[in-house]
Amino acid sequence: MSLDVIAFLTLAAALIGFWWQSDKIKRLALHSVVLRCRAEHLQLLDQTLVLRGVWPVRHDNGSLVLRRRYSFEFTSTGEMRHKGEVILHGLQVSQLHFDPYIMPTEPERLH
């Protein structure tokens, strides 16, 4: 095998590994958002996260990790869409932010 083929296969394996790891991290982020939405009585719309950026940063312990920022939309009343954002450092959720939203009112109970 020539050096070019080995370099190509190494690069292809690295890209596939990066894609696979990124998908795993996105599923972790989505799971965190779903749990938080349930706890706050919110509905995650479209069940999707959109990757907004990837940057290398230093973790608290000094190691180099990738910072990923995802955005999503949610609703509190079913009428209006609101934006949210989740930021991960490596495999750890570092921030989970919801834009301000209207708290749903409880329906009146008939006696």
Q: What is the pLDDT of residue 52?
A: 96
Q: What is the pLDDT of residue 110?
A: 45
pTM of the model: 0.81
Tell me what the pLDDT averaged over the chain comes to.
Answer: 90
Q: What is the pLDDT of residue 97?
A: 96
Q: What is the pLDDT of residue 106?
A: 64
DSSP string, 11-77: HHHHHHHHHHHHHHHHHHHHHHHHHHHHHTT-EESTT--EEEEEEEEE-TTS-EEEEEEEEEEEESS
Tens of pLDDT, residue by residue over 30-66, are 999 999 999 999 999 998 999 999 999 998 888 899 9
Tens of pLDDT, residue by residue over 6-26, are 899 999 999 999 899 899 999
User: Would the pLDDT of 109 be above 70?
Assistant: no
Q: What is the pLDDT of residue 107?
A: 55
Q: What is the pLDDT of residue 77?
A: 87
